[in-house]
Structure 1
Amino acid sequence: MLVLLPPSETKSNGGDGAPLRLESLAFGELNPVRERLAEALTELASDTDASLRALGLSERMSGEVTRNATLWNSPTAPALERYTGVLYDALEVGSMSAVERSRADNRLAVASALFGMVRGGDPIPGYRLSANSTLPGLDPLRTVWRPALEPVLAAERAPVVDLRSGAYAALARTHGAVAVSVVTELADGSRKTVSHHNKAHKGRLARALACVEEEPDDLDSIAVVAEKAGLRAERAGERALRVIVA
């Protein structure tokens, strides 16, 4: 099973891993694109004002440009520890047993504007690049990534559960993946999408799928894992699962 997580704009500092080596990352087929983007990002970081404009950041976030400038030299941390925020708080990798963490590192993959896709245990540095960013001299990231990333996803034989947000799903389309949505059910029975619940409950589902001993192999068994984790889930189509928050 491969569970695709969205990344987060916020990332933890530091790390105790060696500096970035692309050959240490999973999905090595993506390395030519990774290298091209990393080089473009570090070159852009030599001009702070241009970086802020390209990345859509304010002056008070110039520290993010410094992160990009030291991309090749700064320490790394496992991807599941590098990304932070609501979803990763709900994932709670720090509370997993050694066996559960090993499963999570293998089953969970994080979509990334810079790296395309990395497994949970892959060592990556802090950086700043969003799916909606456009680096000078390069096509939009979805145009850059689709020819490289879509064949990798298409070759995945295990079931794929897609928890990515819209901008990151646009970097590579998946065919046959189980798409997960989260809705809030109001007292009158109506439903609507709420971002905070979306991230938290996707994090809880990812944790359940990562830790379960026997990997689910179809939509119904994925729904069973969700229900056992205390989530209310229902089919929303042939390849779609809906998580409902009261």
Structure 2
Amino acid sequence: MLILLPPSEGKATSGDGPPLDLASLTLPELSEARETVLEALETLCSGPADTARETLRLPATQGGAVQRDLGVRAAPTLRAADLYTGVLYDHLRLPELLAGDSAELTRRAVLVFSGLWGVVGVEDPLPPYRLAMDVRLPPLGPLAAFWRERLTDPLTKTTEGNLVVDCRSAAYAAAFKPAGETRERTVTVRVQRETVSDGVANRAVVSHTAKATRGAIARTLLANRVAASTPAELAEALNDLGYTAELGAPTRRGPRVLDVVLRD
């Protein structure tokens, strides 16, 4: 099983590890592409700060992120598991998983997508940075398209034979779209809240709740060392673990959707 995650906007701001070593990151064959994106980011951040903030879509209160991006190469690093601190990661609690009985599975199963690095593992040493996948980075253009061209082959090989649990947001899902047999073994996790009014049940997606629930689901799968190998087995396992999980029918357009339903 592989679990695909987005990064988080919220990140730790400092580490105490050695400086960045691109060759040490998961999928080292991406080193050249990572260098290309990093050089483009450094060029942007070396210019007018207002232009960099606008391109990176940062509010004025986060102007320090531009200088942080400019200093990525020399900054102390920390594990990806400690770097990402947003809502999803608050519920996933990767450092606890890496310190417990599920450590090996967590190291092997979790891949985190990134606008700067493409994809990383949970123990990859990374400096703090800010670069979202939906940024158009001069002169590379949309990062999702840049990375999709470079991630498709290595990730198709990495996911071969594995059930893929896709917990990414739309921007990061655009960087790798499973196809062929991989798509048949992939489920996209969608979280819906169900409310009942006048005896009629209505469902809606709530993004903040969805992030928290995806993090909790990923933790549940890892902590319980779920060994599902098909979408149906995954749905059955989640139902057995207390979730309401409904597996959608196969489609020709993309992976099957696994609805996790929250009820008030």
Q: Give unpaired runs (5+ residues) of structure 1.
A: none
Corresponding residue for residue 179 of structure 1:
188
| 2:202 paired residue among 180, 190, 193 | 190
The yes-or-no answer on 1:126 pairing with 2:128 is yes
- Superposed, which structure 2 residues align to 1:47-196 within 5 Å? 47=47, 48-96=49-97, 97-155=99-157, 156-157=159-160, 158-175=162-179, 176=183, 177-187=186-196, 188-196=200-208
Match in the other structure for 2:253: none
Structure 2 distance, partners of 1:192, 1:40, is 39
Secondary structure at the counterpart of residue 99 of structure 1? coil
Asked whether the 8 Å contact 1:103–1:211 carries over to 2, the reply is: no
Alignment: residue pair count:
246
Distance 2:20 2:149 in 1: 24
Report what 1:245 is aligned to.
262
Tell which deviates more after alignment, 99-108 or 197-206: 99-108
Greater gyration radius? 2
Please give the alpha-carbon distance, in whole angstroms, between the structure 1 residues aligned to 2:237 and 2:65: 38
Q: Report the 3-state secondary structure (helix = DSSP H, G, I; strand = E; otherwise coil) of the residue aligned with 1:167.
A: helix
3-12 or 205-214, which deviates more: 205-214
RMSD: 1.5
Consecutive unaligned residues of structure 2, counting only runs of 5 or more, are 251-255
Tell whether the 8 Å contact from 2:19 to 2:75 is kept in structure 1 after alignment.
yes
1:26 Cα deviation from its structure 2 partner: 0.8
| Counterpart Cα distance in 2 of 1:206 and 1:15 | 25
Does the residue aligned with 2:46 lie in a helix, a strand or coil? coil
CA distance in 1, matches of 2:3, 2:243: 17
Matched residues, percent identical? Answer: 38
- 1:25 matched to which residue of 2? 25
CA deviation string 1:96-145 (max 9, x = no partner): 34332332122111111111111111111111111111112222112211
Aligned residue type for 1:122: D
What TM-score results when the alignment is normalised by the length of structure 2?
0.88
The answer on whether the counterparts of 1:197 and 1:245 sit within 8 Å (CA) in structure 2 is: no
Q: Give the TM-score taking structure 1 as reference length.
A: 0.94
Indicate how the Cα distance of structure 1 residues 208 and 147 shifts in structure 2: closer, same or farther if over 3 A, else same. same
Q: CA deviation at 1:214?
A: 4.7
Tell me: CA distance 1:57–1:204, structure 2 relative to 1, closer, same or farther (3 Å). same
Which string of whole-angstrom CA distances, capped at 9 and with x for unpartnered residues, describes residues 16-55 of structure 1?
Answer: 2211111111112221111100111122211222211110
